[in-house]
A and B are shown apart, each in its own frame.
Chain A
Amino acid sequence: MRWLRALRAPDKMAGFAIGRAAGGYGGSAPRKMLSRALAGVLIVAGICVPFLFGDASGFMNATIISIAYAVMALGLNIVVGSAGLLDLGYVAFYALGAYSLGWFGSEFFAKAQVHVLVSPVASVLPGVHLNFLLVLVAAAAICAAAGVVIGLPTLRLRGDYIAIVTLAFGEIIGVAAVNGQSIKLGGGMTLTAGNLGISAVDSPYFPGIGSFGLLDLRPWYWLIFGILLVVLFVNLRLRDARLGRAWVALREDEVAAVSMGVPLVKTKLLAYAIGAAIGGMSGAFFGTYYTEVNAGQFQFGFSIFILSMVIIGGLGSIWGAVVGGMLLGYINNYLIPDVLNGLPGKFGLSFQLTQVEFGIFGFLLVITMVLRPQGLLPERRHRLELTAAIPAEDAQLGTEPEGMA
C-alpha cells in the first residue's frame, strides 16, 4: 500500500525527483540536439525550394498559397485544437486581416495621406500606405481585438453552442464586408468596397529588396515562409508553456481547471485572440498576394476549409496543422486545377474537377475520419491515449497485490 509506504519514509518527501525526462522542456539532451538539427535542415530546405521550381510556376503559386493556409490552420488549431473551442467563423479573421491590408496599404482611404516606409511609387499615392510588416502588426492587433469580441459571448457556452455563435459572427463579418460600401465613414469614404473589391493594393516593399512583383514569386515565398516559421515558433513555445497547458486543461475539464486556479475568461480569450491574430496575418498576406480585397472571398466555406485542415492534420497537433494546411492547399490549388482537372473528361464526363472540389474535400474528411480519426500527425497526448490504453491497466492489476503487503 503506497500511502503507508510514503508514511514510513517521511524523509523522502523532498528531493524525490527522479523522473525519466530530466530537462525542463520535454526530451533529453541528445533528442533536443536531434530535433534542433532536423529543424535546421528543414529550414534550409524550405529556403531553397524556390530554386527548384521556376520563378513563377503554377507549383510555386500553389506552394505560397498552401503555406498561407498552413499559417491559418496553425491559428485555428490554437482555438479549436488546444483550447477546444469549436470556432466555425474563422473566415472573419481572414476578412479582417485582408481588409487591414486594404485599409492600410492602398489608395482606398483617398482623403488620407499617410506613408510609412513604403516604396517610392506608393509614397506619392493618396491613401494610407504602411510597410507590409506594419500592416501585419495592424492585422494581428485588429484581429486579436475582434477575436476577443467574438469570444466574449461564447464564454458561458460549450461545444456546439460556441460553434453556432462563432458561425454567426463569421457571417456577420462576411455580410458587413459585402455591404460595407454603404457604410459611410465621412469624406466620401466607405468601410469596404464590397464586391467591387479594393484593388491596386500595395505589394510588400522592403528597403534594399524593392517591391515584390508578380513575375517573380520567390520573394513572396520567402516572406510567407518567414511568417510560417515565426508562427510555428510561437505555437511550439506556447504549447510547452504554462498557457498552453492551461488551454488543454480547460479543454479537458473546465470545472477542474478553474478549481485548480486557471482563470476561465482570461485563458479562453487569450486563445481566441492569439488564434485570430495569426489568421489575420495570413489574411493580410492573402490580401496583398491576390492584389485585391474583395468581399466575395469571405465565404462560410472557407471556415470549414481551414477547419478540415486542422482535423485532417490532427486536432491539437501543431505539425498536423502544417501538414493539413499544406496538403489541402496543394490539392485545392495544384492537384485539382492543374493536374487532375481534365480527368473526368477523359472518362467522357462533362464536368471538371474544380466544379466538385468541395465534394472532394468532404470525401477526404470522411476517409480521414474512418481510417485515421486522430489525424495524420496526431497530438502527442492523443497518441498516448490511443496506444497505451489497455495493456497498461492490465499490467497494473497484476502488480496490485504486491502493493498491499
Chain B
Amino acid sequence: MSAILRAERITKQFDGLTAVSDVTFDIPAKSIVSLIGPNGAGKTTFFNMLTGLVRPTSGRITFGGRDITRTRPDVITARGVARTFQNIRLFGAMTAIENVMIGRHARTRAGIFGAVIRPPWVRAEERKTRERARELLAYVGVKAADFDRLATQLPYGDQRRVEIARALATEPSLLLLDEPTAGMNPQESAALALFMRRLRDDLNLTILLIEHDMKVVMDVSERVTVLDYGRKIAEGTPAAVRADPAVIEAYLGTEG
C-alpha cells in the first residue's frame, strides 16, 4: 500500500524541551493507524505538526506526495487533512449546523461581493452547504431537533459527533482523531470503533487516531505506533506492539 502521509525524521523542540524527536512515520492509504503513548509523549504535538498548527524544527512531512511541512493549516485542510481536538473545540456561539458549515469553508468560494450581491451561484452554494451539513450531522447521529441548538449546549457525546461532522465537512482523505473516546463509556467507545471502520469504508478515508483506550486501539487499528518521550519506540500490528517489551516498560506493564 502506498503511504498517503509520510513524516520523515521530524523533530520539534520547544525552548530546549524536545517534544517530538526524530520520528519517521507512514500512514498507508485507507488504513486505520493508531498513535499511542503515555501522557506527554508528544502525540498531540505530532498531530499539530501534521495539520500545520506547529512547524517542525526539522524533518519533512508529505501528504499525497506533496510537501506540507511549512504549509498553512487552512491550506493543509483544503488539501484533505481534517482533525478533531482532544478537548473539544467547537465554536461556542454557533449552532451545531453552523459549526459543520464552517467545515465547508475551504470547499466553497463566496467572497464579499458574492455575499452582498448574492447571485444565483452563491444562493445555490449556500443551500448546498446547509444541506451537506444536515446530512453529515444525521450521518454521525445527531438528532435533527438539535441541529439549530448551540453546539456547546449539546450533551458531551453529541459535541464529539458534531466535531467529527465538522471535520468530515472539509471532505478529507485523511482524518485525524485526537482521543475521540475521551469521556465515553465502554459501550459508546465500542460503537465509535465500529463507526470509524464504517467511515473508512463509506468515505474512503484514512484515519489516524490518538487513543488511550487500549481496547479501541487493539480493536480498530491495523497498525500502531508508540511514542514515548517524543521518540518512536515501537511500530507494527496491534498484537506485535502489545507484546513489545519496550512498550510494556513504557506503560509500566499496565497494558502488557
Contacts and interface: CB of A to CB of B under 8 A. Distances in A.
Interface of A: 1-7, 10, 12-21, 24-25, 233-234, 237-238, 240-246, 248-249, 251-253, 255-264, 270, 274, 379, 381-382, 384-385, 388-389, 392-393, 396-397, 400, 404
B245 to A, nearest CB: 35
B91 A252 contact: yes
Nearest to B203: A13
Given A10-B202, A248-B94, A261-B106, 19 more contacts: A2-B143, A2-B158, A3-B140, A3-B192, A17-B131, A20-B144, A24-B126, A240-B115, A242-B125, A243-B115, A246-B102, A246-B105, A253-B92, A259-B53, A259-B73, A260-B102, A260-B169, A261-B77, A261-B105
Interface string B137-165: 01111111101111001110110010000
Contacts of A400: 155
B103 A260 contact: yes
Contact of B148 (A16, A17, A19): A19
Given A242-B126, A261-B105, A388 B149 contact: yes
B147 A20 contact: yes
B95 to A, nearest CB: 8
A241 B126 contact: yes
A1 B123 contact: no
A381 B89 contact: no
A270 B153 CA distance: 30
Nearest to B129: A242
B246 interface: no
Contacts of B150: 381, 384-385, 388
B105 A6 contact: no
A14 B126 CA distance: 18
A4 B73 contact: no
Contacts of A382: 93
B72 interface: yes
A251 B78 CA distance: 21
A19 B161 CA distance: 17
21 contacts: A1-B191, A2-B141, A2-B143, A3-B195, A4-B191, A5-B141, A7-B194, A7-B195, A17-B131, A24-B126, A241-B122, A241-B126, A243-B110, A245-B105, A246-B102, A248-B93, A257-B91, A261-B107, A262-B106, A385-B93, A392-B153
Q: Is the interface of B mostly helix, strand, loop or mixed?
A: helix
A4 B194 CA distance: 8
Contacts of A20: 144-145, 147-148
B102 A245 contact: yes
Interface in B85-125: 85, 89-95, 97-98, 101-103, 105-108, 110-112, 114-116, 118, 122-123, 125
A234 B115 CA distance: 8
A199 B115 CA distance: 39
Interface string B162-175: 00001101100000
A14 B202 CA distance: 12
A168 B129 CA distance: 40
Nearest to B85: A256
A16 B112 contact: no
Contacts of A241: 110, 114-115, 118, 122, 126
B103 A261 contact: yes
Categorize the interface residue count of chain B. 35 or more
A24 B116 contact: no
Given A243-B112, A253-B91, A18 B144 contact: yes
- Give 10 nearest A-B pairs by CB, closest first: A261-B106, A241-B115, A16-B138, A2-B141, A3-B191, A381-B93, A252-B91, A261-B77, A256-B89, A17-B134
Interface of B: 51, 53, 72-75, 77-78, 82-83, 85, 89-95, 97-98, 101-103, 105-108, 110-112, 114-116, 118, 122-123, 125-127, 129-131, 134-135, 138-145, 147-150, 153-155, 157-158, 161, 166-167, 169-170, 187-188, 191-192, 194-195, 198, 202
A259 B75 CA distance: 9
B155 A13 contact: no
Which of B53, B85, B143, B153 neighbours the largest number of chain A CB atoms within 10 Å of its CB?
A: B153
Contacts of A7: 191, 194-195, 198
Contact of A6 (B91, B97, B139): B139
Given A19-B134, A261-B74, A270 B112 contact: yes
Contacts of A6: 138-141, 195
Contacts of B140: 3, 6
Nearest to B137: A16
Given A237-B116, A252-B92, A13 B138 contact: yes
B149 A392 contact: yes
A248 B115 CA distance: 15
A2 B161 contact: yes
A20 B97 CA distance: 11
Contacts of B103: 260-261
Nearest to B100: A260
Contacts of A263: 72, 74-75
B250 to A, nearest CB: 29
Contacts of A251: 93
A241 B123 CA distance: 10
Contacts of B202: 10, 13
Given A260-B170, A382-B93, A400-B155, A242 B139 contact: no
Given A248-B94, A260-B105, A397 B170 contact: no
B91 A256 contact: yes
Given A24-B123, A252-B93, A17 B101 contact: no
Nearest to A256: B89
A83 B115 CA distance: 16
Contact of A13 (B116, B126, B135, B188): B135
Contacts of A242: 105, 108, 110, 114-115, 125-126, 129
A174 B40 CA distance: 50
A1 B188 contact: yes
